[in-house]
């Protein structure tokens, strides 16, 4: 039997954007199984609770059969190893992301040389999106409905209106 290729897409997803969803869909077409792993970093101030972020991700990925959503509160490579994943997925939006992501990938390789980092670029129409920018726009009552999945738009409106 062929070995299943499992990939982990770690992140805070606070909130999940159409850019994140684009990367998830791309990864699901490449790997047998994709685990979207929501970081439970209590030191970071999040708009949404970990449970809310998981619920939103489950809602927007429910139609993608080989995608599951989970949480983690350890190093991404440690979590990936615990799930028998050999790949970490990272999204690259702009060249400004590259320096940080490259440094992180090299550090992860040093921590576990058996886990590879694969960079995926979102479609150009969503490549500029960041959760931070969306939260700022939504907090000022700007319309972000074309930038986030519908459940996220509704959740942002509940918080900011």
Q: Which residue among 53, 90, 93, 135 is the active-site one?
A: 93
Q: Which residue among 42, 44, 65, 158 is the active-site one?
A: 44
Residues 6+ apart with CB under 8 A from 125: none
Q: Which residue among 20, 53, 86, 90 is the active-site one?
A: 20
* Catalytic-residue membership of 44: yes
Lay out the sheet containing 116-120: strands in order across: 67-72, 33-39, 6-11, 87-91, 116-120
* Catalytic-residue membership of 20: yes
48 close to 148: Cβ distance less than 8 angstroms:
no
Q: Which residue among 46, 86, 131, 135 is the active-site one?
A: 131
Distance between CA atoms of residues 105 and 10, nearest Å: 12
Residues 6+ apart with CB under 8 A from 20: 11, 13, 91
**Residues known to be catalytic:** 20, 44, 93, 131
């Amino acid at each position: 039997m062929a070995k299943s290729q499992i990939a982990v897409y770690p992140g805070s997803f606070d909130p999940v954007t159409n850019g994140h969803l684009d990367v998830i869909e791309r990864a699901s077409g490449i790997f047998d199984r994709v685990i979207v792993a929501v970081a439970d970093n209590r030191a970071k101030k999040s708009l949404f609770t970990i449970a809310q972020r998981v619920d939103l991700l489950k809602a927007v990925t429910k139609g993608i059969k080989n995608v599951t959503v989970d949480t983690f509160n350890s190093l991404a490579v440690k979590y990936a190893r615990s799930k028998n994943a050999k790949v970490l997925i990272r999204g690259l939006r702009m060249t400004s992301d590259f320096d940080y992501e490259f440094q992180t990938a090299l550090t992860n390789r040093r921590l576990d040389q058996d886990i590879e980092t694969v960079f995926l670029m979102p479609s150009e129409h969503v490549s500029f999106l960041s959760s931070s920018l969306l939260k700022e726009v939504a907090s000022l009552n700007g319309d972000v409905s074309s930038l986030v999945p519908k459940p996220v738009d509704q959740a942002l409106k509940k918080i900011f209106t």
